[in-house]
Chains A and B, each alone.
Chain A
Amino acid sequence: MIDRQAAVGVLRRYVWVPAALIGAVGLAWVITAIYGDLVVTRVVTLALLHTVWVVGLFAYSGNSGMMSFGHVSFAALGAYATAYLTIPAGLKPTVFPDMPGYLSWLLDIQASFPVALLVSGLVAALFALVLAPAIVRLAPLQGAIATLSLLIIVHTVLNNWTEVTRGQSTMIGVPADLGLGGAAIGAMGAIAIAWALTSSGAGLRLRASREDAIPARAVGVAIGRERTVAWVTSAFILGVGGGMYTHFVPTFNPDQFFLAATFTIVAMLIIGGMKSLTGALVGAATLSALSEVLRRVESGHIGELGLPAGSAELMLALFLLLMLGFRPRGLTGGREVPWPGLLAGRRGGGVLGAPRGVRRERRSET
C-alpha cells in the first residue's frame, strides 16, 4: 500500500505534468500532420517554435518570479551560432565576404543540424553564466530593466558588427529543413528540461524564494545560486530555440530578435499564467491562434475591408492589458494540468507552481 502511494507520488510529481503536456504537443503534431493544409502547418510549426521560447522563459521567470525582457537575445545568439555552423561551407565566403581574419575560423567550422543546436544552446548558456552575477542579485524591477538593457546591447552589436553578422542585411544560406515534426520534438524537449528544473530541489527552493524571499533566505536558500541555475538553463533552451527558428524561416536579421519578439513571448507567458509550465503552453497556443486570426482580419482575409497595419499588435496588447486587470495570474491561474481525480481517488489541484503549491508539496513530503 505504501509502495503504491509512493509510486503514485513519484508519478504525480515527476511524470504527470510533462507527460500530459508532451502528449498535447504530440496530439497537435499528429492532427496537423493529418488534416492541416500548408498554411495551418506553417502556423502550428511557428506556434511550436514560440512554445520552445516561452517554455525557456518560464524556466527562469516562472520559477524565480523575475521577469526578463532579455531572453530573446539568447535566442539571437543561438540563431547566429546555428547559422555559422550550418550554412554550407561553399556558400560562406559569399555570405560573409568581409569576415575579419581573427574570426576566419567561423568560415571553416561545420556541424550537422542537431550538433549545431546543441552548440547554440551551450553558447547561450555560457553567455548567460557570464552575465549571471550582474542579473541574479537584482530586485525584480531592477532586474527587468537590466535584462532589457541586455537586449539592447546584443541588438546593437548584432546590428552594427556588419562584417561578422551581416548587420541589417538578411542572413542567407541557412538550410530550410525544419518542419512540423522537428518543431514538435523541440517543444517536447524544452518541456522535459523545464520540468526537470521545476521539479528539482533547485526549482523548489527558487519558487520558495519567489513566494517570499526573506523566509526562504532564512531557511538557507541561496537565492542567487538557484536563480543562476534557472537563468543558465533557460538560456540554453532559448539558444536551441533560436537555432531551430533559423532553419524554419530561414532568412532573418537582428530585428527578428528584438522588441516585437520580446513582447510576444512575455505576453504569451503572462496570458497563459506565469507561474506554471502549463500556462506557458496555454499562452503560446492561445496567442498564436489569436494573432493568426487578427493577422487575417488585418490583411482582409476575414471580413470585408481589412484594418491598417499595427491593429493586430494593438489588439494583442489590449488583450494583455485586460488580462492583467481582470486575471493577472493568467488563463491557468498559475496551476498545472490537474491530476486526474480517478487515479488519486480525490479531486486534485495543481502539483507544483500554484500559489500554495510549495506549501502543499512540503506537507506531502513530511
Chain B
Amino acid sequence: MVVAGLVTRSSAPVVAGLSLLIGTPFIAALAIALGTFASRGRLAAYAAATIAFAALGAWLAG
C-alpha cells in the first residue's frame, strides 16, 4: 500500500483511509508521508512522518 501511495502520488489519502480501515494507523501515516513527499509537499511530509513515528513508538510500547 505504501508503494502504491508512492507510485500513484495523489492517491495517498485513499491509501491512508484504507489502511486506517484495517487498523494500521502507522502504515496510514507512513503512506501519507511518502505520498506527500512524492508530490513535493516537504513540510506536510515531515509532519506526517512525525505522526507516523510517534504512532509507531506508542504501538511498540503498548
A and B form one complex: no
- On B, residues with C-beta under 8 Å from A are none
